[in-house]
């Protein structure tokens, strides 16, 4: 699996769930996505916390959508995973210089704005739409 591909894994899996509402085990999902069941459980666990999917233990257990895919936007998924376009960490320690401070103020507000507009765009598309777009 590629680096930092949690969002890709999540969206891919949700797309399949939207197309076919059955319970899937983390093992099945991992096979399909070319990754590992534990990684799947970690990623889908975040989505569960956000009420996007639900999971059941035991045999017959597994994962499925917790709500209508028409009501799940890409932004919901992105935010559930707690990802950020750019990690905007402050200058290291106290003894920073004024140029660095001024720069940081400007750039971080710019990044926050971009982050916001990215989320807005993600919010305009639902999982159901992605799944429907499947056939070109």
Partner DNA sequence: AAGAATCGTAATTTAAAGAGTTACGATCTA
Partner DNA sequence: TAGATCGTAACTCTTTAAATTACGATTCTT
Q: Which residues bind DNA (CB under 7 A)?
A: 1-6, 25-27, 34-39, 41-42, 44-45, 48, 55-63
Is the Cβ of residue 49 or residue 134 nearer to DNA in the bound state?
Answer: 49
Q: Which listed residue (30, 31, 34, 43) binds a second copy by CB under 8 A? A: 34
| Residue 19 binding result from DNA, a second copy, none, given CB thresholds of 5 to 8 Å by partner type | a second copy
For helices 6-19 and 26-33, angle between their N-to-C axes, nearest 10 degrees: 110
Residue 23 binds to a second copy (criterion: CB under 8 A): no
CA–CA gap between residue 6 and residue 83 (Å, rounded): 9
Closer to DNA at the Cβ: 36 or 88? 36
Taking the complex as a whole, the smallest distance from the CB of residue 72 to a second copy amounts, in Å, to 13
Closest CA to 65 of 134, 10, 28, 120: 10
Check if the beta carbon of residue 79 is closer than 8 Å to that of residue 119. Answer: yes
Rounded least distance, CB 69 to a second copy, Å:
12
Residue 39: closest CA among 8, 64, 80, 66: 8
Place of tokens 């376009």: 85
- From DNA, a second copy, none, interface partner of 134 (C-beta below 5 to 8 A by class): a second copy
| Residue 13 near residue 40, CB atoms below 8 Å | yes
User: For a second copy, which stretch binds (CB under 8 A), given 41-49, 50-58, 63-71, 127-135?
Assistant: 127-135
């Amino acid at each position: 699996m590629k680096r930092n591909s949690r969002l890709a894994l999540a969206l891919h899996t949700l797309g399949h769930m939207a197309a076919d509402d059955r319970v899937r085990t983390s093992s099945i999902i991992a096979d399909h996505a070319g990754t590992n069941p534990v990684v799947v459980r970690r990623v889908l666990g975040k989505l569960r916390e956000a009420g996007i999917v639900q999971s059941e233990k035991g045999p017959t257990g597994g994962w499925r959508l917790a709500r209508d895919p028409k009501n799940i936007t890409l932004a919901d998924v992105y935010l559930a995973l707690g990802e950020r376009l750019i990690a905007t960490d402050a200058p290291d320690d106290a003894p920073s210089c004024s140029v660095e401070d001024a720069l940081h103020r400007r750039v971080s507000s710019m990044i926050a704005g971009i982050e916001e507009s990215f989320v807005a765009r993600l919010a305009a598309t639902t999982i159901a739409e992605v799944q429907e777009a499947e056939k070109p």
